[in-house]
Structure 1
Amino acid sequence: MSTVLNVILAGGAGKRLAPLTLKQAKPALNFVHRRRIIDFVLSNLWHSGFHHLLVLTQYQPQALHSHLQRHWQARFKQYGSLQCCQAPAALNIGTAGAVARELSIIRDYQPAHIAVLSADHIYKMDYRQMLQCHQQQQADVTIAAVAVPVEQARHFGVFIVDAEQRIVGFIEKPQANVPQIPQRPGFALVSMGNYLFRSAVLQQALGNIAAGQHIDFARHILPHLISSGRACVYDFGSNVLPGEQSLPHYWRDVGTLNSYFASRLDVLSHPDWLQGDNQLWPILGRRSCTERLGQASSALLRKHSGGWLSAITPLAPARHQHALYC
């Protein structure tokens, strides 16, 4: 899908996750089984065939840059590209301002569509289906949305949509009178923080932003596009993945310590959802020590087949005692 440029927002400090984020950005945090939080969105992009990535970093990016270079750069380079753009640590220009800062690079790609994706959520999603919905609706922007209980909706942006899934209202983090889904009382339709724009529309919106101006997508860009009548939602509940998924349509914003550890328990309780021989949409990550030793051993055995090295069996690495440090 070379017509889609994927901009990954990975610069957040994650202050509510302190002390875990004192020395590294939230997307770089270890999650479970040698996967970092950012590995979820990167795996979704890889499986979806969306291989042109622009990763925007800012807060404590060293560990994140190292992870991307060692475990993802070569993979995406096979069919596309992965480029990191680091903003100064003291800069405070909002989510849309961060994308606007890289507008000249975005223009060089000449994409037909631009996906702006959060790097700090736990979920699986085939973005091709969102793109298909976006094109069928001829929308200027399509926003991925998920149904959550009303009591949780106060932490997110809430949509009001018509029968054709066009957005007719949007309330950012409502504290009272949360709009409910007509067919699902007790639930609200909230933003997942994943946007798919028509490239010309986004470039025009970002081109009007003054250098250094603080602009957010939810508070400043979306209201204008919604008023034009060409903003739609993509229902995450309609996304279909291949094979069996023991956590169907699972999505969590791990922005707090409680949500982070609760989500880890969810995933650890369903290891087949993350990986496995029968998992057709695995979450990829760095190779384990066992895999690296196994590949190195195989290479040596091939090179020295029949020699004394063939009698050597590599030692298995010790197991980590706590999954948090895997």
Structure 2
Amino acid sequence: MSTVLSVILAGGAGKRLQPLTLRQAKPALNFVYRRRIIDFVLSNLWHSGFHQLLVLTQYQPYRLHKHLQQHWLARFKPHGDLVLHQAPAQLITGTAGAVARELSLIRDYQPQHVAILSADHIYKMDYRQMLQFHLQQQADVTVAAIAVPIDNASQFGVFVVDDKQRITGFIEKPKGAVPQMPGRPGFALVSMGNYLFRTTVLEQALHQAQPGIELDFGHHILPQLISEDRCSVYDFSQNQLPGTQSLPHYWRDVGTLNSYFASRLDILSHPDWLQGSGQSWPILGRRSCTERLSQAGSALLTKHSKSWLSAIRPLAPSQYQHALYC
């Protein structure tokens, strides 16, 4: 989708996941079956056709950058672009402040809409459906949300919505009573940390950002826009994926050691949800030897199509196992 630029927030230190994050950023953590945490959002973007990506990093980014350059850059490059931008380690920005630093670059892409996505959540989602809802609502910003039991809602940002899915209120990690979903007692609608902005609205909202002052979407930007009646909420339960999903509408914020290991057990118990020949929405990870050889061969053939290299032909699938050990 050339009209959408996806900005991935991947710079958090993940202090609650220490010691796992002492030497690498949380999105770079190994999760299951050779997948890293960031592979989930990247796979969703790939399958959704959102191929213009800006990945914002900051804390301990070396392994994260290496993984993206080796296994994701070549996937997105033929169809769009994947650009990495690293902020200085000592800089304090907040989620919205990090995006504000890149406004000039965002303008260069000239997108109609900007998706702001977290890099450290475990889920599957077709972002095209969220975009369609966003356009139907004619919203300035749409936020993805999921229903959770009210006993667990206090650790998230909770929405108050009307019957048209317009956001009328937002409470960040409520200390008192938690607003319940209309028609679904015992559950609250909480933010998944995924935003879809009209670009002009995002620019206006981030105009207040100042260097060295923390600015967050949840704490600062969203309440301001809600007061102007310009926000909608997209219910994650409405998102439909092709094929059979053994963990339908699964979403976990793996910000703590308990949630990280609990989510790993969930996925390990449902390997068919992650991958397999029958999985229509697989979570991609490290590029296989076959994929890398195929892409390298295609690039060489394209570049040297009039030379002796044009005589080279890819190996048949049955021959790959004898060609090279990777």
Which residue does 2:308 correspond to in 1? none
Task: After TM superposition, list the pairs within 5 Å mapping 1:106-121 onto structure 2.
Answer: 106-121=106-121
Could you tell me how far 1:210 is from its partner in structure 2?
2.0
User: Matches of 1:106 and 1:193 in 2, distance apart?
Assistant: 20
The AA in structure 2 aligned to 1:217 is: F
Which residue does 1:164 correspond to in 2? 164
TM-score normalized by the length of structure 1: 0.90
Find out whether 1:133 has 2:136 as its counterpart.
Answer: no
Could you tell me how far 1:118 is from its partner in structure 2?
0.1
Find out whether 1:25 has 2:19 as its counterpart.
Answer: no
TM-score normalized by the length of structure 2: 0.90
5+ unaligned residues in a row in structure 1: which ranges?
318-326
User: Matches of 1:179 and 1:254 in 2, distance apart?
Assistant: 24
1:52-110: per-residue Cα shift (whole Å, max 9, x none)? 00000000000000000000001111111000110000111100000001111011011
Which residue does 1:69 correspond to in 2? 69
User: Matches of 1:38 and 1:105 in 2, distance apart?
Assistant: 22
The AA in structure 1 aligned to 2:67 is: H
Runs of 4 or more above 4 Å deviation: 291-296, 302-305, 312-317
User: Matches of 1:156 and 1:304 in 2, distance apart?
Assistant: 50
CA 1:258–1:107 in structure 2 vs 1: closer, same or farther (change >3 Å)?
same
User: Matches of 1:163 and 1:230 in 2, distance apart?
Assistant: 15
Q: Secondary structure at the match of 2:105?
A: helix
Q: Check the 8 A contact 1:293/1:314 in 2, yes or no.
A: no
CA 1:295–1:198 in structure 2 vs 1: closer, same or farther (change >3 Å)?
closer
Which residue does 1:124 correspond to in 2? 124
Task: After TM superposition, list the pairs within 5 Å mapping 1:177-326 onto structure 2.
Answer: 177-288=177-288, 313=322
Q: Secondary structure at the match of 2:16?
A: helix
5+ unaligned residues in a row in structure 2: which ranges?
299-311
How large is the RMSD of aligned CA atoms in angstroms? 2.2
Q: Check the 8 A contact 1:34/1:288 in 2, yes or no.
A: no
Q: Secondary structure at the match of 1:154?
A: helix
CA 1:275–1:94 in structure 2 vs 1: closer, same or farther (change >3 Å)?
same
Could you tell me how far 1:214 is from its partner in structure 2?
1.1
Moved more, 164-173 or 211-220: 211-220
User: Matches of 1:244 and 1:138 in 2, distance apart?
Assistant: 32
Q: Check the 8 A contact 2:294/2:314 in 1, yes or no.
A: no
Moved more, 144-153 or 200-209: 200-209
1:110-157: per-residue Cα shift (whole Å, max 9, x none)? 110000000000000000000000000000000000001111111100
Taking only the aligned residue pairs, the percentage that are identical comes to: 72
Could you tell me how far 1:287 is from its partner in structure 2?
3.2
Could you tell me how far 1:204 is from its partner in structure 2?
1.1
User: Matches of 1:238 and 1:254 in 2, distance apart?
Assistant: 23
The AA in structure 2 aligned to 1:88 is: P
CA 1:176–1:247 in structure 2 vs 1: closer, same or farther (change >3 Å)?
same
